[in-house]
Copies of this chain bind each other. A is one copy, B any other.
Amino acid sequence: MSLLSKGNGNGKLDMLPEDFDPPAVVAAEPLPAAVESNGIGAGRKEGEMVLGRNVHTTCLSVTEPDEDDESTGDKDAYMAGVLARYRKTLVERTKHHLGYPYNLDFDFGALAQLQHFSINNLGDPFIESNYGVHSRQFEVGVLDWFARLWEIEKHEYWGYITNCGTEGNLHGILVGREVFPDGILYASRESHYSVFKAARMYRMECVKVATLVTGEIDCADFKSKLIPNKDKPAIINVNIGTTVKGAVDDLDLVIQTLEECGYSHDQFYIHCDGALFGLMMPFVKRAPKVSFKKPIGSVSVSGHKFVGCPMPCGVQITRMEHVNVLSSNVEYLASRDATIMGSRNGHAPIFLWHTLNRKGYKGFQKEVQKCLRNAHYLKDRLREAGISAMLNELSSTVVFERPRDVEFVRQWQLACEGNMAHVIVMPNVTIEKLDDFLNELVEKRSTWYPNEKVLPPCLAADIGRDNCVCALH
């Protein structure tokens, strides 16, 4: 079917003869024939893999350039047009965005010049590779900043800038398993799904722990799960801000529970998943402090969330002693690379470095204040409008009654689960934006529930009776 050459077929790859002429090895007609399809995406069964829209129907196909494209410039014009339209969509979609914890308020104009370079921090941040186009000097500067925030000395920590929060969790849990090969992973059922993905990937026994109505880990249930498994070490994922409710597990109570169950400090490993709040918590009084002065093994935080970055990234910090365990079996790994990925984006560290330098601890403090203030404003206004809503103490995630209209959800890019939706108040979410959102919600809602025949859902089971204002409560 294809016009491509099929190879010699006998499986033998002789070395080249002396008179070998390189261009001759290139097929004359390299253009593969189009693979036939019985209608675009027709083979994907509804509800099987494709839960949302099928992107195949809206995708931007790559087309082969015509012979004369270079002279006419048609292709360039076409692509410029596509990009201009895409940019417009990005502007519009960035404006209407409330459901995801991404700070979209950044200006990296000064860094545009770096897009011309293939910057790759492959391998360990502390081991210079022979590949010279890297940004390790920025990466280590950023890591040192976080090490200071989480109170661990420079020579005692190891870490790297990851591709996202998931990679941080995958790394933290892997380190835990390497330290305790027969350890059991404990995680609250409201933990991010990457934690359970890790358990499956790593073939670890995993125990799900119940949560309180706030979304925090239920330490009474944790205790009851620990006791029958006391013969095995514990690896615990502690959430510093859950995905849906922004709940912060009480690190101190988790450690206390382990101690009460008879676990000594060398029988457990705690990974703190600080995806969003890992960077907000240090600026909130009364928050259980994340610190390596406590018996924790690793902390991860996302870089594209509170800090803001054009591409997803994260920071992972662990203890040097643990990483030595991970990279001990050099012969087997054939590398001292203790990261999950080999090649790593060298741009992200520069974006983070730039923002940390500009804002500093004080700048983040101000932004956290603003976010908490605005989150309270939103929760109060929702409740005033008779809408069930909850806001955890240490959080800027406002959980409320899921809007009935899918288009409204899509328009404001809300994340939903069951009867709940949430807005995460980030530094780019202003009072004006919240007002626009609230006004539209209240107006639309009056059409969703015009009379008492259709009632708004009860959220008592999700966010507690006190926060529910449905007809029953």
Contact = CB atoms under 8 A, between A and B. Distances in A.
A431 to B, nearest CB: 13
A196 B335 CA distance: 10
A256 B104 contact: no
- Give how many copies assemble into the complex: 2
Contact of A127 (B20, B52, B90, B148): B52
Contacts of A7: 252, 286-289
A87 B127 CA distance: 21
A164 B312 contact: no
Say whether chain A's binding surface is mostly helix, strand, loop, or mixed. loop
A26 B286 CA distance: 9
20 contacts: A7-B287, A7-B289, A11-B253, A13-B393, A15-B393, A26-B365, A43-B155, A44-B126, A49-B324, A49-B336, A60-B138, A62-B142, A64-B360, A102-B120, A132-B410, A192-B342, A193-B337, A197-B333, A202-B202, A312-B343
Given A59-B144, A132-B93, A250-B11, A49 B158 contact: yes
A391 interface: yes
A422 to B, nearest CB: 11
A5 B285 contact: yes
A133 B358 contact: no
Contacts of A360: 63-65
B108 A116 contact: yes
Contacts of A133: 90, 93-94, 97, 102, 104
Contacts of A152: 35
A68 interface: no
A353 B78 CA distance: 13
B200 A332 contact: yes
A265 interface: no
B311 A37 contact: no
Interface residues of A, number: 204
Contacts of A141: 59-62
A221 interface: no
Contacts of A107: 116
Contacts of A2: 151, 291
Given A120-B102, A137-B60, A312-B343, A324 B48 contact: yes
Contacts of A4: 282, 289
Given A324-B48, A324-B49, A347-B310, A153 B43 contact: yes
Interface in A5-21: 5-9, 11-16, 20
